[in-house]
Amino acid sequence: MSNSRQPYRTHRRRKKRNAGRIGLAGALTGAVGIAAVATAIVVVRPGDPGGDAASPTLAGQSSATARHPSVPSPEAGPPVNFTTPEGYGYSLAAVESGTDPEPLGATEAPPPGTTYAYADYVLTNSQRRPVLLDYPADLFMPRAQVPSSARERCMPQAGIPDDMCTLPNRSEITGRVDGAKPPVDENGSSMIPAGASYVVRIASELPVDEGVSAEDLRLYVWNARYTSDLTGIELAFPGD
């Protein structure tokens, strides 16, 4: 009888050992699976402190460089510093003003006897961090030198001489001073890299009389974002 039971007991021990092995394998598999899931969670978790911080990217560097060639630092008037409520710092210095039928490239030809007004200035990020690309200066001309058809669009502003007004205009970067880095994209906003300087041209979109001279045109910063006391601040041209 004992001989007949021994194989049976041995068979049960084998089953127990096999069950133990299967249980151990399952536990190991489960542990590996949990570790893999945990690893996946760590990898895909946003804002992981172990990852690299996001940094600004160049906003189309090659195209920006082509559009905005490097230019030597131009002769300019005394720089004026401005700070916005967000803490962005800018320095502006007037370069020159004048008239041109195409001040920013191809545009609709002005009517006979008229032309477009423009002014150039240097825009500098005066801080050690990127600041929003903005154009604080506005172009003003004598109201009497604006054709009657556009005069109602020429707006006076608080703190600016009453005989001066500003027409609808647009501003563009025309050069990067001394090879300054082009604007960078930061969360969808164009930013000026730390310390970078650009030559900016502002040009009227409506015509002025052809007889307007460079001396008639003025650059002012008047927006409350830059001047808290509603006083227009003039950017003096070289030699003024």
**List of residues 6+ apart from 220 with CB closer than 8 A:** 137, 138, 140, 157, 159, 160, 232, 233, 234, 235
Task: Please report the pLDDT score of residue 1 as a whole number.
Answer: 43
Question: Is it the case that residue 119 has pLDDT exceeding 80?
Answer: yes
Q: Which helix (H) or strand (E) holds 28?
A: helix 2-44
pLDDT tens column, 1-41: 433 333 434 344 444 444 444 454 454 445 444 444 444 33
Task: Please report the pLDDT score of residue 56 as a whole number.
Answer: 52
72: nearest Cα among 179, 196, 193? 179
Tokens 């650059």 sit on residue: 219
Question: Is it the case that residue 85 has pLDDT exceeding 80?
Answer: yes
Question: Is it the case that residue 51 has pLDDT exceeding 50?
Answer: no
Q: What is the CA radius of gyration of the chain?
A: 34
Question: Is it the case that residue 171 has pLDDT exceeding 60?
Answer: yes
pLDDT tens column, 194-230: 999 999 999 999 999 999 999 999 999 999 999 877 7
Task: Please report the pLDDT score of residue 9 as a whole number.
Answer: 41
Task: Please report the pLDDT score of residue 97 as a whole number.
Answer: 98
Beta bridge partners of 92: 80, 123
Question: Is it the case that residue 98 has pLDDT exceeding 70?
Answer: yes
Beta strands across the sheet bearing 164-165: 164-165, 138-142, 218-221, 233-235
Query: Rounded mean pLDDT of 108-132?
Result: 96
CATH class belonging to 57-235: mainly beta
Residue pair 139/122 in contact (Cβ under 8 Å)? The answer is: no
Helix (H, G, I), strand (E, B) or coil at 169: strand
* Band (100; pLDDT cuts 50, 70, 90): very high
pTM of the predicted protein model: 0.74
- So where are the chain's domains? 1-53, 57-235
Beta bridge partners of 131: 192
